[in-house]
Amino acid sequence: MLRFLIALLLLSSAAQAQDSPLLDSLLRSSPALATVLAHPGTYQLQLIYTRIDRDANNVPHFTQHTYHLNPRQYFNPASLVKLPTALLALEKLHTLPASVTRSTIMSTGVAGRCQTPVPFAAPADSDRQANVGNYIKRMLLVSDNLAYNRLYEFVGQQTLNTRLQQLGYAGSRIVRRFAPCDTAANRFTNPIAFHTANGDTLYKQPAQANPHTPVPPLGPVYAGRAYQVGRRIIHQPYNFTTANNLPLSNITALLQTALFPESVPLAQRPHLTPADYAFLRQYLHLTPHASHYSAYSAPSYFDAYKKYLYYGRRPEAQLQPGLRIFNIVGMSHGYLADVAYFADSLHHAEFLLSAVLYVNRDGIINDGNYEYDSIGLPFLAQLGQLFARYEAQRPRRYRPNLELFFQPAP
């Protein structure tokens, strides 16, 4: 095991991209970031800052700057996988009969172990209806795990991974529900049907099976020095080999695709419509309260919920006027990630910022003793604010027209 870990470390070091001098200088200008920057091995920080410059026709041009970016350095993507799943669920809808849309009532059956049903129902509250659109809203607004499971099952494990490979995301692998299912059970997904409000069936999708789980792109992956099962501590590294994998560069490109589809080659885009992209823009930036989504009116879903870069996770945080953040986050096993696009109408600024770090000082996985609140989330808040200040002052030849990102809800 020690020989393997040493070999993996050497391979990871060789794969790491050269740090951008601009990014390195900017990060070190902030004392608030010093603790994490001083311990790269402990916090495993990876960053991508994407500068956006518009030309005279308002066409955006992207320049990436990276810090400790390493596709061979595993991190658990957690809820980051919800964005590619949402994109491919919308794409799959277009392969079904025209009568099936993202607002068509959906039911989920059971055909194997570790599967749970969602029976047909036509509730008066359309927000609570089971359909693809509402599942995507729940995933993007509050990172709902059950909604993700329903769309993982709708798309199917084989299609999810085949399409990601076809779109150019060779390092990506989505093979798990957010449920205690083993590798074999996750290959099998539920039968699904779409219905009219009266219960008539419009389309049936049989249960699906992926013949083979996709090969782990990084080979064997272990992390930590121990892990907890119940009350027992197992004194060996935790095995992430069969887990989901989504490199930071891939999820950054997927967010750029969702927000700037024309900037991505046609062969690397899912087959979506302008209405699909408008829908994604809306729910990538909305906060739970601003969405007027009835299920998320409780105080626990505060205004800055899920906007880690810039706000951290503080219920008392006041939203910055003129600033919209379009993002997807992940938080699991001590890994903390946020991938975001910032649009600032007051300072006529925009940029993409992607960050992941590891906050598990004791090295024990699944003991719940992670430094999310003391280190990780404050770091992300300071990081987002640093780049927002930098971009607000950065000279631009052409002022960006950001109207597309400030349109009212349809």
Using DSSP bridges, classify how beta strands 60-67 and 232-234 pair: parallel, antiparallel or unpaired.
unpaired
> Tell me: the pLDDT tens digits for 375-387?
999 999 999 999 9
- Mark the ranges of the chain whose per-residue pLDDT is less than 50: 1-14
H/E stretch holding 284: helix 274-285
Counted domains in the chain = 1
Cβ count near 191 (within 10 Å): 18
Alpha-carbon distance 276 to 87, whole Å? 9
Q: Domain containing 265 — which CATH number?
A: 3.40.710.10
pLDDT at 298: 74
Alpha-carbon distance 410 to 403, whole Å? 14
Host domain of residue 342: 2-406
To 10 degrees, what angle do helices 82-93 and 157-166 make?
A: 100
pLDDT at 407: 87
pLDDT at 8: 38
Do 226 and 365 meet the contact criterion of CB atoms below 8 Å apart?
yes
Q: Which residues pair with 336 in a beta bridge?
A: 331, 357
- In which residue are the tokens 């903390």 written? 336
pLDDT at 57: 97
pLDDT at 9: 39
Contacts of 346 (CB under 8 A, 6+ apart): 321, 322, 323, 392
Contacts of 343 (CB under 8 A, 6+ apart): 323, 324, 325, 326, 350, 402, 405, 406
Do 339 and 255 meet the contact criterion of CB atoms below 8 Å apart?
yes
pLDDT at 294: 76
pLDDT at 189: 97
Cβ count near 206 (within 10 Å): 12
Contacts of 221 (CB under 8 A, 6+ apart): 74, 239, 240, 241, 243
Of 255, 287, 240, 216, the closest CA to residue 48 belongs to 255
